[in-house]
Each structure stands twice: as C-alpha cells, then as structure tokens.
Amino acid sequence: MTCYDHMTITTVVQENSGLTIKECDFDELFRLLINVKLAITQSDTTDHLITDRLIKQEMENFLERRTLPVDGITHFLYLDRNIEFHDTPIPSGSPKSDARYYVWDNKTGLLLQKIPPYSKTSCNFHRITDESFHNVGGEVYICLPEEEKLLNGSYHVTPNQCHRLYTSSEPAINIILTNPPGLGISDHYHPKKCVRQLC
C-alpha cells in the first residue's frame, strides 16, 4: 500500500453518456487520463504526487495545471488543454447572480463556479437542460421549491425545477455539469416569484 492509496481527487471524466463526476484515487486518475476534463484537489501532497507522476506520463499532452487560491485554501486544478480557464473569474451574465466562473465551457457543458461569502446565484430554471452541482470547497446551500439544504456532495436539477445556490460566511467552489451542453445562458429563465420566497 502506497502513501497515495487513499487520496481522493474530484475528477470530471468524459464517458459515452457525457460528463461524469468521479472521486478518484491516484492510480485511477492515470487510467482515466485521456478522458479527464478537469481534476481538483486541495492537498499540496497530492498535487506534488500528481505533478511528478503525470510529467513522466506526458501530462503536458493532456492536462494543464492551475492553482486556485480561495480564502486561504489553495485548490490544485488539472484541466483539459482545450478548455479555457479564466484567472479572474467571469460573471454569468445574470444581473441577480453573485457567482463568478473560472470555467464556462459550452462545448462540454462544464462550469467551475465561485460564490463569494453571503452571496447567491439568480433564482432560475431551465426548459431543456439538466444541471448537476458538486461542491468541492467551502459551504453552499441549494434552495428548491420543496426543500432547502446544504449541498453536501452532488445534486441533480431537472428541467423546469426552479433553484438557486447561496453561501453563508465562506466562499464556495462548485463544479456544474449541464446536459445537453451548448445551450449556456440561452436556456436560463427567471421566475417572477422566487423559489421559497428566498431569492
């Protein structure tokens, strides 16, 4: 057993059915490498191990390394080279959303989102798009018509399901997968009344 056997790396992988979020160990990341769109870890030790091993396996052919310092915690990212990364995160285009995006890739449907402390996204729904949220850092809540809960792990939102995310005292980093990809902001709709009157 090696020192990296129990290290977990949150990974977005291209599969036949689209993008999937997987919690990978070190060796599984290498097996999936050609299909990895994004991998993220908060561990400096894991970052060094990945960098050392992937350089030997021609990491530069597949992934680009980035660091993402947020509120004193550094996230280490490894991105498909065809995905554009914004060092200064960009707004969504919705005037009612405080969220910013390091990645907004319409081609794959992959987004990497930051929500500052005491902030929220717009209250919205989609007519076509399924949306999956996965929290990888900080604390974030999801508000839906039927419930409001801490986003612990992943949550899937179906078409016409109104939703929004919000934070309390710390920022949050979230991976968002949209299916089908390519619709972007064109499939965002904002209700006249907010979900659970909280937006």
pLDDT digits (tens, 9 = 90+) for 127-145: 999 999 999 999 999 999 8
Question: Per the domain annotation, does 4 fall within a domain?
Answer: no
10 Å CB burial of residue 60 (0-12, 13-18, 19+) is exposed
Question: Per the domain annotation, does 2 fall within a domain?
Answer: no
* Pair 109, 190 in one domain: yes
pLDDT of residue 124: 92
Query: By residue range, what is the domain housing residue 21?
Result: 9-80
User: How many domains would you assign to the chain?
Assistant: 2
pLDDT digits (tens, 9 = 90+) for 47-65: 888 888 776 666 777 899 9
Question: Per the domain annotation, does 128 fall within a domain?
Answer: yes
Residues 66, 69, 74, 75: is their CA dihedral positive or negative?
Answer: negative
pTM of the model: 0.91
* Pair 73, 102 in one domain: no
- The yes-or-no verdict on residue 5 having pLDDT over 80 is no
For the CA atoms of 94, 96, 98, 99, what is the dihedral angle to 10 degrees? Answer: -40
What are the DSSP calls for 87-133, one per residue?
SSPEE-S-TT---EEEEEETTTTEEEEEE-TT-BPPPBB-SS-EEEE
Tokens 């990888």: give the residue.
Answer: 136
* Pair 98, 151 in one domain: yes
Neighbouring residues of 160: CB distance < 8 A, sequence distance ≥ 6: 125, 126, 127
pLDDT of residue 149: 93
Question: Per the domain annotation, does 1 fall within a domain?
Answer: no
- The yes-or-no verdict on residue 167 having pLDDT over 90 is yes
CA distance 173 to 22: 16
- The yes-or-no verdict on residue 26 having pLDDT over 80 is yes
pLDDT digits (tens, 9 = 90+) for 75-131: 999 999 999 999 999 998 887 899 999 999 999 999 999 999 999 999 999 999 999
pLDDT of residue 196: 55
* Pair 35, 123 in one domain: no
CA distance 94 to 116: 16
* Pair 132, 163 in one domain: yes
**Do the Cβ atoms of 129 and 169 come closer than 8 Å?**
no
- The yes-or-no verdict on residue 2 having pLDDT over 80 is no
- The yes-or-no verdict on residue 1 having pLDDT over 60 is no
Residue 94, domain CATH: 2.60.120.10
Question: Per the domain annotation, does 20 fall within a domain?
Answer: yes
CA distance 6 to 133: 24
